[in-house]
Amino acid sequence: YTNRHLRFLLRQLSSKAVLWTEMEKVETFMRSEEATRRTLRFDPSERPVVLQLGGDDAELLAAASRRGAALGFSEVNLNCGCPSIESGGANFGAALMADPKRTRGLLEAMAHASTAPVSVKCRLGVHARLDPDAPPPEDSYEALASF
């Protein structure tokens, strides 16, 4: 768990590492300032810290990206690689890998709204987990590059 306590420890191990938050659902991040302070606060000594968001609503992701930059996060990241239960079967995380055009629109909205850099977390090998009956995907560098 990359909570603030672990990030503090990791910063002691390396002053050069880029540290990340756990994936925060964009609805939660935008709904509750108290929850944001409790789960995502960080000490300036932890920087650089990347805010990792999960969601599929362009307007909410844009607002969250703007807010994340204002809170001092060094970067804002769209999670397109989480196949875990945390995505709850929703249309975000690894599910976005199946729709590159939609994902591009989400990232563009985030980039236009944020003063911090915006990135995407993605991975190979998630397609079979998303649809076990689908034919084997081309999990290669070329397929990832076209994403």
User: What pLDDT is attached to residue 48?
Assistant: 93
Rounded to the nearest 5 percent, the helix, strand and coil shares of the chain are 50, 15, 35
Q: What is the pTM of this model?
A: 0.82
User: What pLDDT is attached to residue 130?
Assistant: 53
* Tens place of pLDDT per residue across the chain (147 aa): 788 888 889 989 998 999 999 888 999 899 878 877 777 888 888 889 999 999 999 999 999 999 999 999 999 999 987 765 454 556 778 788 878 899 999 999 999 999 999 999 887 655 555 556 655 555 666 766 776
User: What pLDDT is attached to residue 95?
Assistant: 81
Length of the chain: 147
Kindly list the catalytic residues. Answer: 82
User: What pLDDT is attached to residue 65?
Assistant: 97
Amino acid at 78: L
Give the count of beta carbons closer than 10 Å to the beta carbon of residue 89.
7
Pairing of strands 49-54, 24-25: parallel
Q: How far apart are CA 111 and CA 108, in angstroms?
A: 5
- Local structure of residue 99 (DSSP, 8 states): -
Question: Facing residues of 126 across strands?
Answer: none
